[in-house]
Chains A and B, each alone.
Chain A
Amino acid sequence: MDLLLEGFQTALTPTNLLYAVLGVLLGTAVGVLPGIGPAMTVALLLPVTYNVSPDSALIMFAGIYYGGMYGGSTTSILLNTPGESSSVVTAIEGNKMAKAGRAAQALATAAVGSFIAGTIGTVLLVLLAPTVADLVVQLGAPSYFAIMLASLLAVTTVLGSSKLRGFIALFLGLAIGLVGASTGEARLTFGQPLLADGIDVVVVAVAIFALGEALWVAAHLRRRPLEIIPVGQPWMSKKDWGRSWKPWLRGTAYGFPFGALPAGGAEVPTALSYLTEKRLSKHPEEFGHGAIEGVAGPEAANNASAAGTLVPLLAIGLPTTATAAIILLAMQSYGIQPGPQLFDNEPELVWALLASLFVANLLLLVINLPMAPIWAKLLQTPRPYLYAGILFFASLGAYSVNFQAFDLVLLLAFGLLGLAMRRFGIPVLPLIIGVILGPRVEAQLTEALAISQGDVSTLWSEPVAVVVYVLIAVVAVALAVNAVRTRGSAAPEKEEVDA
């Protein structure tokens, strides 16, 4: 508790407060732009925080993170087609509400719900993360190896409709992660000295998220502009509050645990929250026509799961969503290595980060509710400028890492890969996680076998590792059974090669 108070002292100095406000504003402004989800927002804004002192950078980043999330949900409410899978559910009822003239209430319940879920989620994070870190710090390399393996498989198989495409993405990512001389021998460097240190993950992430997306949109740019719903000051009547507060809490209860699982992500909890609210609602007939519960619940679930993903990220160093992957990169670029030692090595920074999550969350509510009409105007940015701007800032971000034109070559190459992945329905998340975790999985395996002097049985010598392998096996069997069953019942109609 004292540590958290100290964290607040760091977060609340005037300079850092200014950085937090700046972060929230930038994050929301960029996140609200159509076609830019939270992951791309944090990736594009990463360079802005490079040379600020680590505590200010982290605080600014917390603001960018929450701002980007909130901006994304504003977009999906005011325009119908959400870019992020986590906002899909919010858009269902949110856009219907907006069309029925209740955009102000939809934005208000989303903002207040996000605030409540984010605050509860951060409290749970503060309580859980140090405990998890204490447990994890006792684990040896075999257990780490097992947990990372499980997380790679989970990210690949749990989300997305085609497992084949998930694995394609994962192994492309692992191949990218091989590049470099980290093992003592230069692998896949093709004699290019600039590749000896490996490919900068920031470049890969910006290329796949920002450049790939911009090129993909450029090939399919809407000829008619989307209809944007004008919005006034967000507000809610007493009745709206009464209908919202339970869904907020239930959404939080769904979101946080799912986010904290190594196969995190907001898709499952937001969908569960929506179904629950639909079943419990006193106005089931409104669902499909703009029910406020259908915005309040999923939006809270979305934000709570975002807080949940920070548990494995901070305590184990394990990113489970695209946004978490970028946050990991950001922290590494400030010279901070998330993981079990983090709470012992950098207590001031961690607690300042946790405190600034609270601050950013509050700022978001205070700043964004009054400014919603301005954010809505950003949706009218002319599309040529919007996507030209994405290309511009993506290049700037990649170039500012090392000032090497070579990084821009890589950016373009991986941007084209990102374009191809969107064309062929290959998910991007397993690729990014593969690039980040691949080298670490190899390192843990090497460490485990070095300690055991090459005895492979060391891999299942720790109870945690055994439990994780059993879980992997159970899920694999369940998926296989499921695949066989769907194939048997709906054979030629369904896509056959799904497994």
Chain B
Amino acid sequence: MTTTDTATSPVRRRAVDTAQYGFAAFLVVVGAVVVHDATTLDKGFADQPVQPYAVPYLVGGVLLVLGVLLAVATARGDVPEAEEGEDVDLEGGSDWVTVAKLVAVFAFNVAFVGWLGWAITGAVLFAGSAWALGSRTYVRDIAIGAALSLLTWYGFYVGLNIPIPAGILDGVL
């Protein structure tokens, strides 16, 4: 009975998707954080029938279980169906370098949007993303980025009455 697995199933063994253990671990961590946060809530704080900690206990607990289930499924050879799309080529492998570059460009935008203002960081975001994605026409990329960020800034300010903070260009724009 111990070796029935190989005996009864001549099917090729699927490679275990080890990265999926990482996602399972992520679920366990999120579940643990939710449950831990629930324990810090004041018991009997409110007189409402559903205490604020009730639902977090449930959600966090289920997330813990789901994380374990996903790990078990992974060990049993469960492979995810990655998402297809118009521009997605799943056969070529994953290019995480591009993703890292995009995240870096985006992080720059997050860090400096308050100080430099959208008109500048938006342009950097566009040009930098285009560069990360393989565009090598630097001047044109920056020009398009600057045009987009200025147009959206003015469009939001004038057209939609949404005053996006101008940052260091305050007074210039």
Q: Which residues of A contact B170 (CB under 8 A)?
A: none
Which one of A50, A399, A425 contacts B113 once the chains associate, using CB atoms below 8 Å? A399
- Interchain CB contact under 8 A, B46 and A185: yes
Complex formed: what's the CA distance from A386 to B129 in Å? 10
- Taking a contact as CB atoms under 8 Å apart, the answer to whether B122 and A395 are in contact is yes
Bound together, the chains give a CA A486 to CA B92 distance in angstroms of 33
B89 touching A223 by the CB < 8 A rule? yes
Chain B residues with CB below 8 A from A47, complex form: 156, 160, 162
How does the 8 Å CB contact mask read for B148-162 relative to A, with 1 for contact and 0 for none? 110010001000111
A148-191 toward B: CB 8 Å interface, digit per residue (1/0)? Answer: 00000000000001101101100110110010000111011000
Nearest-neighbor residue (CB-CB) of B8 within chain A:
A492
Cβ-based interface call for B16 (8 A): no
Question: Dominant SS at the B interface?
Answer: helix
- Cβ 8 A contact of A185, one of B52, B77, B133: B52
Assess A399 versus B161: contact at CB under 8 Å? Given A217-B88, A222-B88, A423-B80.
Answer: no
B86 x A79 contact (CB < 8 A): yes
Identify the stretch in A250-258, A267-275, A408-416 within 8 Å (CB) of chain B at 4 or more residues: A408-416
- Is the pair A171, B59 in contact by a Cβ cutoff of 8 Å? yes
Which of B31, B56, B144, B152 is in CB contact (< 8 Å) with A385? B144
Count the B residues whose beta carbon is within 8 Å of the partner chain — how many?
Answer: 87
- Chain A interface residue count, CB cutoff 8 Å, equals 81
Q: Which residues on the A side are within 8 Å of B113 (C-beta)?
A: 399, 405, 408
Asked if B129 and A387 sit within 8 Å, CB to CB, the answer is: yes
Does A493 reach chain B (CB closer than 8 Å)? Answer: yes
CA distance A198 to B144 in the complex (A): 35
CB nearest neighbor in B for A160 = B81
Distance in angstroms between the alpha carbons of A84 and B72 in the assembled complex: 30
1/0 contact trace for B99-141 toward A, CB 8 Å?
1001100110111011000100010011101111111000001
Report chain A residues within 8 Å CB of B42: 185
Is the C-beta of A31 less than 8 angstroms from some C-beta in chain B? no
**A81-B86 Cα distance, complex, nearest whole Å:** 5
Residues B126 and A168 in contact, CB atoms below 8 Å apart: no
Of A222, A396, A453, which is within 8 A of B122 by CB?
A396
Q: Looking at the complex, which one of A165, A175, A384, A396 makes contact with B135 (CB distance below 8 Å)?
A: A384
Check if B1 is an interface residue, CB within 8 A of chain A: no
Residue-wise interface mask of B (26-40) relative to A, using a CB-CB cutoff of 8 A (1 in contact, 0 not) = 110011011001100
**CB of B19 within 8 A of chain A?**
yes
Q: Is the CB of A408 within 8 A of B70?
A: no
Instruction: Judge whether A172 and B30 touch: CB under 8 Å.
Output: yes
- Closest Cβ of chain A to B9, distance in Å, is 4
A51 at interface (Cβ–Cβ under 8 A)? yes
* Docked complex Cα distance between A385 and B20 (Å): 32
Task: Count contacts between A and B, CB distance < 8 Å.
Answer: 241
Q: Is the CB of A442 within 8 A of B50?
A: yes
Contact A395–B106 (Cβ < 8 Å):
yes
**A 214-225 binary contact with B (CB < 8 Å = 1; else 0):** 111111111100
Within 8 A of B (CB), among A365-409: 382-389, 391-392, 395-396, 399-400, 403, 405, 408-409
A419 contacts across to B, CB distance below 8 A: 99
Indicate if the CB atoms of A35 and B129 lie closer than 8 Å: no
A454 adjacent to B73 (CB under 8 Å): no
How far, in whole Å, are A250 and B99 apart by their CA atoms in the complex? 45
The answer on a CB contact under 8 Å between A188 and B95 is no
In whole angstroms, how far apart are the Cα atoms of A497 and B80 in the complex? Answer: 11
Residue of A51, A82, A175, A216 touching B161 (CB-CB under 8 A): A51
**Cβ contacts under 8 Å, B145 to chain A:** 388, 392
Q: Is the CB of B109 within 8 A of A395?
A: yes
Once the chains are docked, how many angstroms separate the CA of A184 from the CA of B53?
11
CB distance from B92 to the nearest CB of A (A): 6
Q: Give residues of chain A (70-94) contacting chain B, Cβ–Cβ below 8 Å.
A: 75, 79, 81-83
Residues A171 and B66 in contact, CB atoms below 8 Å apart: yes
Residue of A nearest to B10 (CB): A492
In the bound complex, do residue A496 and residue B78 qualify as a contact, i.e. CB atoms below 8 Å apart? yes
Interface flags for A221-260 (1: CB within 8 Å of B; 0: not) read 1110010000000000000000000000000000000000
Contacts of B38 in A (CB 8 A): 187
- Kindly state the separation between the CA atoms of A395 and B86 in the bound complex, as whole angstroms: 23
Which residues of B in the span 45-67 have a Cβ within 8 Å of any Cβ on A? 45-46, 48-50, 52, 55-56, 59-60, 62-63, 66
- B173 lies within 8 A of chain A by Cβ: no
Q: Are A187 and B160 in contact (CB under 8 A)?
A: no
Cα separation A438 to B62 with both chains bound (whole Å): 14
A-B contact list, 22 entries, CB within 8 Å: A35-B86, A50-B160, A51-B162, A165-B80, A171-B66, A175-B59, A175-B60, A178-B34, A184-B52, A215-B102, A219-B94, A384-B129, A384-B134, A387-B129, A388-B129, A391-B106, A391-B129, A392-B125, A424-B20, A424-B23, A445-B50, A497-B73
If A34-B87, A217-B87, A383-B87 are given as contacts, then 14 extra A-B residue pairs at C-beta distance below 8 Å, sorted by A number, are A51-B160, A164-B73, A178-B55, A183-B48, A184-B45, A185-B42, A218-B95, A384-B141, A396-B122, A415-B106, A422-B82, A449-B50, A495-B77, A497-B73
Residue ranges of B at the interface with A (Cβ–Cβ < 8 Å): 8-9, 11, 19-20, 23, 26-27, 30-31, 33-34, 37-38, 41-42, 45-46, 48-50, 52, 55-56, 59-60, 62-63, 66, 69-70, 72-73, 76-90, 92, 94-96, 98-99, 102-103, 106-107, 109-111, 113-114, 118, 122, 125-127, 129-135, 141, 144-145, 148-149, 152, 156, 160-162, 164-165
Report which A residues bind B (CB closer than 8 A): 34-35, 47-48, 50-52, 75, 79, 81-83, 161-162, 164-165, 167-168, 171-172, 174-175, 178, 183-185, 187-188, 213-223, 226, 382-389, 391-392, 395-396, 399-400, 403, 405, 408-409, 412, 415-416, 419-420, 422-426, 438, 442, 445-446, 449-450, 453-454, 492-493, 495-497
Which 5 pairs between the two chains have the least Cβ-Cβ distance?
A: A425-B80, A449-B49, A388-B129, A497-B73, A384-B135
